[in-house]
């Protein structure tokens, strides 16, 4: 059974995700249970924001009586529009939930024009 596990393909899951606007910040929240900070990779390439998370290896010895968790990794892609500042993306990981805070470019924020 162990030999079979070694050749088994990695099962990649799309994490459950919420996106909301909070003032001038866009927040994305992704559920990635089992992913340690070291297993996380967040990349911005042009308009694409790619999030990859590898789960910490779990002990597989023993017999499964019930198996509903079959994924080893998570992957999610977002397309960023021009208003998002590429260099101001903050990430934090807590209790298996990744929170990304995407800031809006200064130039894209609504500007108030004083009427003299």
Partner 1 sequence: MDLVKMERGAPIDIWDAFEGLRGEMDRALDALKVPDSAGILDLSVAPAVDVIETEEEFMVVADVPGLRKEDLEVTITGTLLSIKGEKREEKDSEKRRYLREENRPGSFRRTIDLPPRIDPERIAAELRDGILALRIAKREEAKTKTITVSPK
Using CB under 8 A, count the residues that bind partner 1. Answer: 31
DSSP β-ladder status, 97-104 and 48-54 = unpaired
Phi, psi dihedral angles at 4 (to 5 degrees)? -70, -35
21 in contact with partner 1 (CB under 8 A):
yes
Name the helix (H) or strand (E) containing 113: none
* Cα–Cα distance measured from residue 98 to residue 113, given in angstroms and rounded to the nearest whole number: 38
CB closer to partner 1, 18 vs 47: 18
18 in contact with partner 1 (CB under 8 A):
yes
66 in contact with partner 1 (CB under 8 A):
yes
63 in contact with partner 1 (CB under 8 A):
yes
* Cα–Cα distance measured from residue 84 to residue 82, given in angstroms and rounded to the nearest whole number: 6
Residues of this chain that bind partner 1 (CB under 8 A): 16-23, 27, 29, 31-36, 56, 58-59, 61-69, 95-97
């Amino acid at each position: 059974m162990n030999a079979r596990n070694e050749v088994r393909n990695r099962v990649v899951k799309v994490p459950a995700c919420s996106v909301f606007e909070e003032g001038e910040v866009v927040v994305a929240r992704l559920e990635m249970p089992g992913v340690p900070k070291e297993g996380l990779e967040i990349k911005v390439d042009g308009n694409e924001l790619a999030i990859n998370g590898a789960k910490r290896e779990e002990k597989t010895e023993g017999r499964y009586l019930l198996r509903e968790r079959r994924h080893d990794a998570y992957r999610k892609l977002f397309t960023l529009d021009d208003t998002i500042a590429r260099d101001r993306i903050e990430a934090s990981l807590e209790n298996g939930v990744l929170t990304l805070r995407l800031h809006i470019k200064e130039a894209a924020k609504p500007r108030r024009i004083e009427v003299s």
